[in-house]
Chains A and B, each alone.
Chain A
Amino acid sequence: MRVLARLAATVAALGAASLLIGPAGLGPGESLRALVAGGPEAAALILREIRLPRTILAALVGAALGASGAALQGLLRNPLAEPGLIGVAPAAALGAVIALQTGLAAAFALALPLTALAFAGAAAAALVVVAGAGGTLTLILAGVALSALAGAMTSLVLNLSPNPFAAAEIVFWMMGSVADRSWQHVWLALPLMAAGAAVLAASARGLDALTLGEDAASSLGVPVARLRVQVVAGTAALVGAAVAVAGAVGFVGLVVPHLLRQAVGASPARLIPASALGGAAVLLAADIAVRLVAPDRDLKLGVLTAIVGAPFFLRMIWTERGREA
């Protein structure tokens, strides 16, 4: 798999760059020494406790979003599917917003991500209960309804916020970021993401069969109803964890699978690992960019991914149009 090898190399290179770039102004040699050997106290602290968790989180969140987008597109047989569509990401955001609003977020470090995860889990459970036995269209419709509900509730919380500062805090959080995160965030997200990734990996063959439609997939021995629950659960774990630690980072789950589809021969199974690596690369690059473009303005990750991603996506659609028919 040359595509996967190339993507992995890109992720490694961007990960290294992400470790070496920051406002502390450490040289590359100094940074590496601090990372590996400890070195002078401040440098070691910056590398090991600030930059390394940030880099790892950027890669994890990107991978989670990319893999989820690929799996959902495969399940729904629709290139427009993305993690926000089925309501899990907006529900996680709602949880975080409630934690911020109620002051719960200040109670202990992981209060916000844990609340977000609880809401993501509840949304996934609701989705499975409502749409688990129905078809693909039922799943999309239920997801859209859940998204709308979570979005409206989020607006309500903003609407009722006691002062502009509280509202601003919520709005900034929702733009998505991996800045100022700690190892706690990594350890919270990692096991959930690993579990979600394992579930998606187990669903990969079934998603390939779904290329032929649900009846043909069933006739090939794929338990389609179970596959649907698996993909929703796996995506919920991945996206719930991603939103819990990084806020709402849009566009990666939609665009990355689309970008890589042709390179992997359009197979949904092969698109999942490729999109995980591609998503990691995109978020690492975006996180480097927010530090380089406006180091003193705390540019948010989600803002940048959409600002750069959307025109790029449009250009791609422009060059591809007519080729598909």
Chain B
Amino acid sequence: MSLRSLTVRRGECPVVDRATLDVTAGEVAGLIGPNGAGKTTLMRAALGLIPHAGRSSLAALPPLARARAAAYLPQGRQVAWPVPVAALVALGRLPWGGADPDGAVERAIARMGLAAHRDRPATALSGGELARALIARALAQDAPLLLADEPAAGLDPAQQIRTMQVFAALAAEGRSVLVSLHDLGLAARHCTRLILMDRGRIVADGSPAAVLTPQRLAEVFAIRAAHADTPDGPLIQPVAVLDANDPKI
């Protein structure tokens, strides 16, 4: 996926401002930034779901080709009807006319640990189960790129880690993942790269250690965080909100 000066305006005000970005195979790229930074809008514009200026390699594709190139997991976990989980996951095969020669649906169900739930109506699942079922739906699309908008929100710690591990496994297969996250520690430990957005702009892009500096956390998130390096990766725990009038900022 390649974005060049991607811009989305709401009225006069740019919600995404000249975003330039490449996501390449084998990456788990974390998209971070405070609420309203433009993470969701960036993903939607990149997919061509909303009007935008600038260039997105995905949005330039015809709808079906785009659907085969990129799977999208929206933030809102909407399921309108009590469809069985297996049928829900199989919706991921629509861009292929419903065909599933390689058993992508079964693989996605197994990968997300949904085998026991496959016949249950999706509307009867718990929040965490539904989140997994929807991730499985996106995996069943078997696209080389996954755009996941806050997939970890509302998941318990084990499910958060498992979800990030699934993304890492996708990257190991040579696919790429662009995932927006609010948990900076989770982002730092599980993403190969972080893209930091602030008020519509990409203000930093690089390794987690390079992006999550105390100064940026203060400038962009207005927080102070405790850092520690552990054998399991960096720990980042926000501990205080900084006062905008504080002379230290």
Binding site for B on A (CB under 8 A): 77-78, 205, 208-213, 215-216, 218-223, 261-262, 265-268, 324
CB distance from B197 to the nearest CB of A (A): 19
The residue of chain A having its C-beta at the shortest distance from the C-beta of B95 within the complex is A221
Q: A222-B94, A223-B63 are in contact. Are A211 and B81 (CB under 8 A)?
A: yes
CB distance from A88 to the nearest CB of B (A): 22
Interface residues on B, range: 20 to 34
- Asked if B84 and A265 sit within 8 Å, CB to CB, the answer is yes
- Asked if B121 and A205 sit within 8 Å, CB to CB, the answer is no
Residues in A with CB closer than 8 Å to B81 are 77, 211, 261, 266-268
The residue of chain A having its C-beta at the shortest distance from the C-beta of B58 within the complex is A219
The residue of chain B having its C-beta at the shortest distance from the C-beta of A224 within the complex is B49
B83 contacts partner chain A, Cβ-Cβ < 8 Å: yes
Q: A212-B137, A215-B74, A221-B63 are in contact. Are A267 and B83 (CB under 8 A)?
A: yes
Taking a contact as CB atoms closer than 8 A, the residue among B79, B84, B88, B94 that contacts A220 in the complex is B94
CB distance from B58 to the nearest CB of A (A): 10
B76 contacts partner chain A, Cβ-Cβ < 8 Å: yes
Residues in A with CB closer than 8 Å to B91 are 208-209, 211-212, 220
Beyond the given pairs A215-B44, A220-B95, A221-B64, 19 more chain A to chain B contacts, judged by CB atoms under 8 angstroms and listed by A's residue number, are A78-B80, A208-B94, A211-B88, A212-B91, A213-B76, A215-B72, A215-B74, A216-B73, A216-B78, A219-B66, A219-B70, A219-B71, A220-B141, A221-B63, A221-B66, A221-B67, A261-B82, A266-B81, A267-B87
Q: A212-B79, A265-B83, A265-B87 are in contact. Are A220 and B74 (CB under 8 A)?
A: no
Number of A-B contacts (CB under 8 A): 82
Residues in A with CB closer than 8 Å to B72 are 215-216, 219
Q: A211-B88, A220-B67 are in contact. Are A266 and B94 (CB under 8 A)?
A: no
- Asked if B78 and A212 sit within 8 Å, CB to CB, the answer is yes
A214 CA / B84 CA spacing, docked (Å): 20
A216 CA / B146 CA spacing, docked (Å): 12
- Asked if B49 and A215 sit within 8 Å, CB to CB, the answer is yes
A126 CA / B191 CA spacing, docked (Å): 50
Residues in B with CB closer than 8 Å to A216 are 72-74, 78
Residues in B with CB closer than 8 Å to A268 are 81
Binding site for A on B (CB under 8 A): 44, 47, 49, 63-64, 66-68, 70-74, 76, 78-84, 87-88, 91-92, 94-95, 98, 121, 123, 134, 137, 141
The residue of chain A having its C-beta at the shortest distance from the C-beta of B64 within the complex is A221
CB distance from B112 to the nearest CB of A (A): 16
The residue of chain A having its C-beta at the shortest distance from the C-beta of B92 within the complex is A220
CB distance from A291 to the nearest CB of B (A): 37
Instruction: Show 19 residue pairs from A and B whose CB-CB distance is below 8 angstroms, ordered by the A residue.
Output: A77-B81, A78-B80, A209-B91, A211-B80, A211-B83, A212-B79, A213-B80, A215-B72, A215-B76, A219-B49, A219-B66, A219-B67, A219-B74, A221-B63, A261-B82, A262-B82, A265-B83, A265-B84, A266-B81
CB distance from B62 to the nearest CB of A (A): 8
Most buried by A among B47, B66, B91: B91
Residues in A with CB closer than 8 Å to B87 are 265-267
The residue of chain A having its C-beta at the shortest distance from the C-beta of B86 within the complex is A265
CB distance from B18 to the nearest CB of A (A): 23
CB distance from B90 to the nearest CB of A (A): 9
CB distance from A132 to the nearest CB of B (A): 16
The residue of chain A having its C-beta at the shortest distance from the C-beta of B149 within the complex is A215
The residue of chain B having its C-beta at the shortest distance from the C-beta of A266 within the complex is B81
- Asked if B47 and A219 sit within 8 Å, CB to CB, the answer is yes
Residues in B with CB closer than 8 Å to A209 are 91, 94
The residue of chain A having its C-beta at the shortest distance from the C-beta of B83 within the complex is A266
Closest 7 CB pairs of A and B: A221-B67, A219-B72, A213-B78, A77-B80, A266-B81, A221-B64, A221-B63
